[in-house]
Structure 1
Amino acid sequence: MEEKPSKSAEDPQHVESSSGFDVSAAQVIQHGRLFTTQGFTGIFSNKYVTLCAAFATMGGALFGYDQGVVSVTLVMDQFIEQFPEVGPDASGAGFKKGLMTAMIELGAFLGAMNQGWIADKCSRKWSILVAVFIFLAGSALQTGAMNFGMLVGGRFVGGIGVGMLAMVAPLYISEIAPPEIRGTLLVLQELSIVTAIVAAFYTTYGTRHIQSEWSWRLPFLLQMAPAILLGIGVPFLPYSPRWLAMRGRDDEALQVLSKLRNLPATDARVLQEWFEIRSEVVYRKEVDAERHPGLQDGSRWSRVRLQIVGYLDCFRPGAWKRTHVGIGLMFFQQFVGVNALIYYSPTLFGTMGLSYQMQLDMSGVLNIIQMVACWWSLWGMDKLGRRPLLLGGGICMTISHLVVSILVAKYQNSWETHPTEGWVSVAFLFFFMLTYGATWGPIPWAMPAEIFPSSLRAKGMAYATMSNWFNNFVIGLITPPLVQNTGYGTYIFFCTFCCLALVWVWFVVPETNGRTLEQMDDVFNDNTGEAEAARRARIEGEMATRVWHNGDAKAGGLATAGHV
C-alpha cells in the first residue's frame, strides 16, 4: 500500500503539531491570541501568574517600607537623642537629614546599574535572591547603628539591594504576564510600594511611644521579615520564558509558558507566543552579530565586553527612543514632588500651620490616599491606557501644586487667623497624591519594563531604574533646604516640573496598552526600513515552521525543532 504524503511534505509551510493538530505555519503568525479578559478581572482567571507577580513585588515592598520609615523616625525624640546631628538645633541638620534620607537612593542607583547584567547572567529570579542578601546586610547595619556614619552606611548598603529588587521585579513581571493583564500586574509593583509605605508609617507612629532606642531600631529590624520570606520563596518562582529563550533553553521556555498561560503546550496561542519570543531572540542575535562581529568568539572576555556594549546599544537607532521614554518617565515621576511629600510630609504640613500631632495624622492619611488611588489603577491601567492617564495626571498635579503655592505664599505667616485656607492647602495636597497614585505612581514602573526588546530589556530597565534612584536621591537631598529657604517656592518648583511632564508626554510617549512585548517595534516605529523588514520576514518564516513538529513526530512529544 502506497503511503500518502503528509501535508508538511506537500507544503513546507503546513505542518502538524506534536499532538496531531493540523495547522498551517501562517496561522502561527496570524492567529488572534487572547489569553484572558483585559484589565482587573483578567487577573482572577490566571491565579498562578498573578500569584507569581504578586510575590515578586515583595521587593517593591522593601523599597516602600524604607521610604515610609523615615518620615516619623526623623522627628522621634529617641532618634534625635541617639543622632544629634539631625536635631533641629544642630548645625547643617537640613543637609544631614537629606543625606541620611537620600543615601538609600544613592545605593539603589548603584544596585540598579549592576542588576541589568546580573539579571541577564543568572536569570531574573535568582538575581532577586542576590538582592535579598544585600538588603538584609544593610538592614542589620541600620538596626544596630551606633553612630550616624554607621546608619548612613547601612542605608547605602540596603539601598543597593532595594535598587536591584526595584529594577528586576517589574522586569520579571513583564516577561511572565499575558499582554491583556500586563499593565494590571505591573501596577502591583507600585501597590506593593505604597502599601509598605503605609505599613512603615504606622509602625513608626506606634513605636515612637517606646521610651528607649527600640522606638526607632524596631522598625528597621521588622523590614527584614518580608525580605527573608521573599528569599525563601524565590526557588519556587518559575523562570522567565523570555530569559530561557535568550539562553537557548527553548524546550523549558515552552513548558514554563504553558504553565504561566494555564494552557497545554500544544495550544496555538501558546505556540504563537513561543514563536514570537524565539523569533525576537534570533533577530536580536543576528543584529548583535552584525553590530559587534569581533565579540562572537564565545570567550569570557568577549561575553563581558558584550554586556558592556549592551548598555551602549540602548542609545543606538532603534532603541534610543525607548531609553529616552524609560529615563524620562522616572525623571518626571520624582520631580513632580511625590517623595518630598513622603519623606518630609510632617515638615510640609508644618508650613501650613498644623500642630505636631496633626502633622503626623495628616501624613498617615496622605499615604493611605496614595494606596487607595493605586488600587484604582489596577482597573484603569489596562482599561484606559498609559498615555491618557499620564496626561490627565499631569494636568491635575499641576493644578494642585499651583493652588498650594498660592495659598502658602499668601498665608504662610498668618495660618492662625486663616485656618480654612490651611485646610484647603492640605486638601489639594491630598488631591495631588490621589492623582499621582492613580497615574504617575504606577505607570513609570510599568512602561520601561515593557518597551525594550528582549536583548536590551534588562539593561534598558536598569537605565530607567537608575534614573528613578538618582532623581530620588536629588529630591531627598534638596527638599529640606528648599522648604527651609523658599517656603512656597517648593511648590512652584514642583508645579513647573508637573507642567513640563505634561508637555513631554504629549509629544514623546506612545501608547503601549494591549501590545505584546514583541510588538513594541511597531509602537515606536523602529526597524521599519526595507532591509529590517525583510530580515524579520525571513526569520518569522523560518521560525514559524520550527514551532511545529513535522508529521513523523511522536504524538504528545514536545513541539520543537531544536535550539536556534
Structure 2
Amino acid sequence: MYTITNIYFITAIAVIGGALFGFDISSMSVIIGTKQYNDYYGPNIDSDVQDGMGRRYSIQIGALTWVLGSVSICIAKNIPLLIMGRFTNGIAVGICSAQVPVYISEISRAEVRGRLVGCQQWAITWGIMIMFYISYGCSHMEGVASFRIPWGVQAVPGAILFTGLFFLPRSPRWLAKKDRWEEAENTLALLHGNGDINDPYVKQEMEDIRTMVELERQNADATFLELFKPSVISRTHIGVFTQIWSQLAGMNVMMYYITYVFAMAGLSGNNLLLSSSLQYVINVVMTVPALIWMDRWGRRKTLLVGSSLMMTSLFSNGIIMASFGHPAPKGGVNGVKAASWEVHGTPSKVIIANSYLFVASFPITWGPASWTYPPELFPLRVRGKAVALCTSANWIFNFALGDFVPSAFENIKWKVYIVFGVFCAVMTVHAFFCFPETAGKSLEEIEAMFQEGLPPWKTRVSKESTPVRIPRVDNPGKADYAHEAV
C-alpha cells in the first residue's frame, strides 16, 4: 500500500483526531439552546444530563469509535440513546487526544516537533469554529433536521481520519521497541532521508533510538506504576500539571460560557451569539504564530508569557466588574441565572475587549504547548501510558469545571475571574521553577537532560548537537552516548 512520507501531510491527517474534540464541543454548544432540540427531547433538560496496538492503529480505533458515536447521536430517538452516543464520542476523543500527540512527536524532527504537535491544538480550534457555524446555520432550519444534520456531519472527519491512517507510516520508535528494526530504519529514511538509510540524520537517529531502547529493556515491562517511581515521577508531575493548568487557566470556561459574560456586559439576541462566536475565529488565527515560532521561542517562555497575559486579563475583568457592576435582577440577565452580574457603558466594552485578549493569549501559548510538552517528557517505554494519564487529567478537570463554573457565576459572581486569575498566577510560578526546556532536543536528548538533573530555569532552547553521556540504568558507572543539543 502507498505510504505518505511528507511529514506535514502526515500531521494534517493525524490531527483530524484533534478536530474531533473541537466538533464535540461545538456540536452541542449551539444546539442545546434551540427550540427544535428542546421540543424534541423535552424542555428544561437538566444540565447534568447534557454532559454526561500501536499509535496508528489506536488512533484508527478512536476514529471508528467516533463515527459510530456520531451516527448514534444523529439517529437518537430519546435521551438515553443520545447519552450513549455522547459517551461513545467521549471515548473516541479520549483515545485520539492521547495518541495523536505521541505519534506526531515520535515521527518528527526535534527542530519542528513543537510546530507539528501543536497542530493538534490548531485542529481543535478549527473543529470548534467549523462546527459552531454549521450548527448555528442549521439552527434556523425547522424540525429535527436542525440538530440531526450537524450531528451527522461530524461523522465525516472521523471517516476521513480512519481512511487516511491506512496511508500513514508507523512510529519508528514504536517499531524499534517491538524489534522491527528494519522497518524502523526504513520508516525513518522515508520520513527524513528521502529513502536513504545512510543519511547522516537517519543513522544518528537510529543510533539514539537503539541506545534508549536497549537501556529501557534493562527494566521490567512498563506499567502505570512506573510513572510514580522516583526516576519518572517528576516528569509525571510536570506532564499532568501541564494539562491541569491548561484547564484551570480558564480558557474552556471562556469558550463554553462567554455568552454569559457578554450577556452580563449588555449584549443580547443574535448580536450576543455572533459576538461570542468571534472567539472561535480568534482561536484559530492566534494559534498560527505559535505553530510557526514555538520551536524558536521554546516551551518555558511560551508557557510563562501565556499564563502572565491570561492572569492580567482575568484580574482586570474581575476588578472592573467589582468596581462598575451590580447584581443582575433575580433570575439573571435574560433569564440565565449564571449571568448574575451586570456592567454597562464603557466598562462593559472593556470587559468584552479583555475577554477577546484573554482568548487570544491562550492559543498562542498554552493551547499548542500543552499538547506538545507532555509527549516530550517521557522515555519510550512509558510514553503512551504517560500521555494517556496526562490527557485524562485534562478531561477530569474539564468535566469538573463544567459543573463548577455555572454555579460559581451564579453564587460568587465576578469573583470567578479572581479565582482563575489566581490559578494563572500560581501556574506561572510553578512553570518557572518546575518546567524544563525541551525545544530543539531529540526525545533521547530530553531523557539525558532529566538524568543529569539540571534545574529547569537553567535549561535553554537547543541549537545544535554534541555527544552526551547517558548513565546506564543497570550500572551508573558505565555509560552509553547519545547527542545532546546545547
TM range (shorter): 0.7 to 0.9
Secondary structure of the 1:442 match is helix
**How far apart are the structure 2 equivalents of 1:280 and 1:525?**
13
For 2:118 and 2:342, the matched residues in 1 are separated by 41
Match of 1:193 in 2: 124
1:47 Cα offset (Å)? 7.5
> Which segment drifts farther, 312-321 or 248-257?
312-321
**Per-residue CA distance 1:178-224 (angstroms, 9 max, x = gap):** 00100010111000000110101111111110011111121111110
Regions of 4+ moved over 3 Å: 412-417, 525-541
Instruction: Specify which structure has the bigger relative contact order, considering alpha-carbon pairs within 8 angstroms and separated by 6 or more residues.
Output: 1
Distance in structure 2 (CA, Å) of the matches to 1:328 and 1:417? 34
- Compute the RMSD of aligned alpha carbons: 2.2
Given candidates 274, 280, 287, the residue that maps to 2:219 is 287
Q: Which runs of 5+ in 2 are unaligned?
A: 329-340, 454-468
Per mean C-alpha deviation after superposition, the further-off stretch among 481-490 and 169-178 is: 481-490
Q: How does 1:324-473 map to 2 (within 5 A)?
A: 324-409=237-322, 410-413=324-327, 418-473=344-399
Q: C-alpha separation between the residues in 1 aligned to 2:42 and 2:389?
A: 37
Q: Across the two proteins, how many residue pairs are aligned to each other? A: 450
The aligned residue for residue 298 of structure 1 is: none
Q: Is the 8 A contact 1:68 1:342 kept in 2?
A: no
1:138 to 58, 61, 69: 69
Decide whether aligned partners of structure 1 residues 213 and 274 sit closer, same or farther in structure 2, where only a CA change above 3 A counts.
same
Per-residue deviation, 1:531: 5.8
Alpha-carbon distance, 1:268 to partner: 2.1
1:72-221 matches, within 5 Å, as: 72-84=30-42, 87=44, 96-101=46-51, 103=52, 122-221=53-152
Alpha-carbon distance in structure 2 between the residues aligned to 1:425 and 1:538 = 57
Q: Which moved more, 1:408-417 or 1:494-503?
A: 408-417
- CA shift digits 1:394-414 (9 cap, x unpaired): 111011111111222331448
Change (3 A) 1:536 1:166: farther
User: Which residue in the other structure is 1:269 paired with?
Assistant: 201
Task: Judge conservation of contact 1:194–1:371 (CA < 8 Å) in 2.
Answer: yes
1:350-380 Cα offsets, whole Å, 9 max, x none, are: 1222112222112210111111110111122
1:286 maps to amino acid: Q
Matching residue's letter, 1:167: A
Equivalent of 1:54 in 8, 12, 15: 12
For 1:453-532, what aligned pairs fall within 5 Å after superposition?
A: 453-525=379-451, 532=473
- Answer whether contact 2:19 2:123 (CA < 8 A) is retained: yes
Once residues 513 and 417 of structure 1 are traced to their aligned partners in structure 2, the CA distance between those partners, rounded to angstroms, is 43
Tell whether the 8 Å contact from 2:23 to 2:131 is kept in structure 1 after alignment.
Answer: yes
- Counting aligned pairs with the same residue, the percent is 33
Question: Is the partner of 2:438 in helix, strand or coil?
Answer: coil
TM-score (norm 2): 0.88
- Could you say which residue in structure 2 is the equivalent of 1:8? none
* 2:457 aligned residue: none
User: Which letter does structure 2 place at the counterpart of 1:57?
Assistant: V
Aligned to 1:314, which of 227, 230, 242?
227
Does the aligned pair in 2 maintain the 1:265–1:271 contact within 8 Å? yes
Amino acid at match of 2:409: V
Matches within 5 A, 1:243-258: 243-258=174-189
Matched residue SS, 1:287:
coil
Which amino acid in 1 is paired with 2:240? Answer: I
Give yes or no for contact 2:73–2:81 (8 Å, CA) kept in 1. yes
Displacement of 1:390 in angstroms is 0.7
Q: Distance in 2 between matches of 1:536 and 1:247?
A: 28
TM-score by length of 1: 0.76
Structure 2 equivalent of residue 63 of structure 1: 21
Q: 1:192 to 1:530 in 2, by over 3 A?
A: closer
**Of 473-482 and 239-248, the range deviating more from structure 2:** 473-482
What is the CA–CA distance in structure 2 between the aligned matches of 1:318 and 1:477, rounded to whole Å? 36
Mapped contact 1:79–1:216 kept (Cα < 8 A): yes
What's the offset of the Cα at 1:539? 4.8
Deviations 1:465-504 (A, max 9, x none): 1111111111112222222222212212211211111111
SS in structure 1 at match of 2:440: coil
- Whether contact under 8 Å (1:71, 1:342) holds in the other structure is no
User: What is the aligned partner in structure 1 of residue 456 from structure 2?
Assistant: none
What is the distance in 2 between the residues matched to 1:382 and 1:540?
Answer: 25
Q: Distance in 1 between matches of 2:409 and 2:200?
A: 59
Letter of the aligned partner of 2:267 in structure 1?
L
d(CA) in 2 for partners of 1:65 and 1:536? 52
Which ranges of structure 1 fall in alignment gaps of 5 or more residues? 1-45, 88-92, 104-121, 289-305, 542-564
Question: Are 1:190 and 1:441, in contact at CA under 8 Å, matched by a contact in 2?
Answer: yes
